[in-house]
């Protein structure tokens, strides 16, 4: 379990540092960064799988599974673009909020699409989170669309990946392979139009765009390795490392506003998450004697 804990923690820590990485590439438009991330992720993951496992696993793919992964690839591309744009547009705190509310948003997707049932405590947590989002919108004068977009795209992605039974790294290989041609076509167009960042903004930017694929693949592989060896309840706690780090980076390093009204909204979200986590912990402990 210790090995799995180290791997899972490392994955969440890397994801938590993502604002620092993407901010280094702020001179490149978000769409180009996303396209490079797709293209280089496809290359790195394909090379890793070819060297480690070969391609025999591809024979298990069905048309239905490919269709689901095609849909999930579009959602993760939207999530990547929105997150990168948010970081470089000064909305790191909003992005962190998206990942704070994502677990509760995923619960609602489970109710709507998987016919899962919630108890009173879980409904209370969802209601508290919803009220907090409404408060954030009312107090700032605009809907927190960045946070909602990130939560919706990643929550929908998680739902599809739950239904599409395929390991994490193999799933990423298929998703990036499906997006590779459109991403490459866009990058070639950008070069032809004279608006490309790659090979025009210095070697540091070029290295950052290339390594974006590696930065994408490595934490996912670490998470897949750790999730198989760590209890789900512990994963549920570790997942909040990422948005917590992003929130600190946004407020302390990038000076994004975090006044009393915003803090109150975040406090409501955190209270909802604590309530949901405590309910899950109590139910898991009650299930042990029964098992």
Q: Do residues 199 and 206 make contact, with C-beta atoms less than 8 angstroms apart?
A: yes
Length, in residues, of the chain:
291
Q: What is the pLDDT of residue 44?
A: 95
Is the pLDDT reported for residue 290 higher than 60? no
- What pLDDT digit, counting tens, does each position of 73-116 carry? 999 999 999 999 999 999 999 999 999 999 888 888 999 998 88
State both tokens at 123.
């409904």
**Cα–Cα distance measured from residue 151 to residue 79, given in angstroms and rounded to the nearest whole number:** 9
Print burial letters for 93-126: b (CB count within 10 Å at least 16), e (below 16): bbbbbbbbbbbbbbbebbeeeeeeebeeebeebb
**Cα–Cα distance measured from residue 139 to residue 128, given in angstroms and rounded to the nearest whole number:** 16
Is the pLDDT reported for residue 142 higher than 60? yes
- What pLDDT digit, counting tens, does each position of 177-222 carry? 999 999 999 999 999 999 999 999 999 999 999 999 999 999 998 9
SS3 110: helix
State both tokens at 135.
């408060």
DSSP 252: I
């Amino acid at each position: 379990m210790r090995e799995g804990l180290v791997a899972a923690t490392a994955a969440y820590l890397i994801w938590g540092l993502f604002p620092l990485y993407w901010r280094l590439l702020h001179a490149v438009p978000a769409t180009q960064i996303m396209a490079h991330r797709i293209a280089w992720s496809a290359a790195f993951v394909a090379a890793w799988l070819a060297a480690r496992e070969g391609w025999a696993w591809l024979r298990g793919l069905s048309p239905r599974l490919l269709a689901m992964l095609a849909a999930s690839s579009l959602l993760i591309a939207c999530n990547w673009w929105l997150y990168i744009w948010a970081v470089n547009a000064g909305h790191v705190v909003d992005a962190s909020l998206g990942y704070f509310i994502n677990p509760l948003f995923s619960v609602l997707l489970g109710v709507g699409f998987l016919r899962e049932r919630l108890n009173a405590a879980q409904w209370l947590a969802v209601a508290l989170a919803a009220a907090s989002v409404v408060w954030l919108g009312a107090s700032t004068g605009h809907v927190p669309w960045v946070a909602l977009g990130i939560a919706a795209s990643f929550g929908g992605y998680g739902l599809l990946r739950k239904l599409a039974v395929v390991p994490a790294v193999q799933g990423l290989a298929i998703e990036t392979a499906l997006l590779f041609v459109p991403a490459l076509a866009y990058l070639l167009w950008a070069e032809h139009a004279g608006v490309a960042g790659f090979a025009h903004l210095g070697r540091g930017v070029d290295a950052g765009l290339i390594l974006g694929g590696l930065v994408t693949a490595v934490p996912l592989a670490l998470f897949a390795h750790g999730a198989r060896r760590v209890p789900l309840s512990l994963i549920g706690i570790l997942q909040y490392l990422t948005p917590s780090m992003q929130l600190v980076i946004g407020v302390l390093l990038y000076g994004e506003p975090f006044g009393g009204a915003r803090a109150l909204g975040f406090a409501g979200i955190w209270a909802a998450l604590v309530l949901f986590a405590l309910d899950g912990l109590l139910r898991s402990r009650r299930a042990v004697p029964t098992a």
